[in-house]
Amino acid sequence: MITKNRGKEDKLFLDTADKDEIVKLSNFDWIKGVTTNPTLIRYVHKKRQSLIDEIEQEFDDKKLFVQVQGRSYKEMEEDFFYLLEVTSKTTGLKVPTTENGLELIQKIKNEHPERTVLATIVYSVEQGYLAGLVGCDWIAPYVNRMENQNINPYKIVQDIHQLYHVQNLSTKIMGASFKNQAQIRQTLLSGADTVTVPPIIIKSMMNNVLAEESLKVFQQHAQEEEI
C-alpha cells in the first residue's frame, strides 16, 4: 500500500507582511502560515493592528506570528497585554530572545499556555538552549544575519538540533533571515524543522530557470505538432 507522505507536518512559513503575496501563496497547502516583524510591517506602510486584522481574516487553518515590541521588560509586557486583547488565540507571539524577552516568555507559558511562542533573533546555541528551557514552541535562528557576522549558521542550527535531542526539549527550529535558496537548503539539512521564507525566494524555488527553458522548448514542439 502506498501511503501519502508529504513530509513533516511543519511545512513552511512565509516571511512577509505583504497581504497580496500572502493571499496568493496561501493557496498552497504546504504554506503553514506567516511570520512578521516590525521591519516587514514598515515596508508595507500599514498599521500593525490593521494588518493583523486583515491577515487573521484570511486565515482559518494557517498561523500568523506577530512580534512583541519593546526593549525593557515593562514595554514588552505592556505590548504583550495589548496583543492578547487584539489578536486571535491562534495567533502566535514572537518574542526577542533576550533576558527581558525570556522573562516574558516564561510568563506567557505559565499564564497563557494556549499561546504559541516563537523566540526570535537567535544567533547562538545558548539562546536556543534557554529558549528551549523556558518552554518556547519555536526558535528562529537568523541565518543570513549570522553569515554577515562570520558566524556559521548551519553549525549553530545543527548544535541546537542536537542539544534539543540530548536534553529532550520539544522546542522546534524555524530557520529565518534568508536571502537565497542555498541558505534554506543548508538550514533544513542542518536539522531545522521548518523555515520562514520571503515570497521572492519561494517564487525562485518554484520557477527554476532551466526548467522554464525546457518547458519553452516542449511548448514549441507541442505547437508544431498541432499544425
C-beta separation of 75 from 48 below 8 A: no
- 109 Cα distance to chain centroid: 20
Which CB, 168 or 184, lies closer to ligand E4P? 184
Determine the size of the site formed for ligand E4P (CB under 6 A): 12
Sign of CA dihedral 45, 174, 121, 189: negative
Which CB, 144 or 181, lies closer to ligand E4P? 144
| Contact letters for ligand E4P, residues 22-61 (x by CB under 6 A) | -------------x-x-x----------------------
Record the cell numbers describing residue 180, joined without a space.
Answer: 537565497
| Residue nearest to ligand E4P as judged by C-beta position | 177
C-beta separation of 19 from 55 below 8 A: yes
Among positions 16, 26, 87, 120, the unique one binding ligand E4P when judged by CB under 6 A? 120
Instruction: State the nearest-atom distance from the C-beta of 74 to ligand E4P, in Å.
Output: 23
**By C-alpha distance, which of 106, 118, 34, 38 is closest to 70?**
38
> Catalytic site residue 94?
yes
**Greatest alpha-carbon span in the chain:** 73
Give the chain's radius of gyration (CA, Å): 19
| Contact letters for ligand E4P, residues 122-151 (x by CB under 6 A) | ------------------x-x-xx------
Which CB, 151 or 167, lies closer to ligand E4P? 151
Q: What's the length of the chain?
A: 227
One of 94, 107, 109, 203 is an active-site residue; which one?
94
**Phi then psi dihedrals of residue 61, to 5 deg:** -105, 15
- In three-state secondary structure terms, 65 is strand
Instruction: State the nearest-atom distance from the C-beta of 166 to ligand E4P, in Å.
Output: 26
Active site residues: 94
Q: Note the residues at the interface with ligand E4P (CB under 6 A).
A: 15, 35, 37, 39, 120, 140, 142, 144-145, 176-177, 196
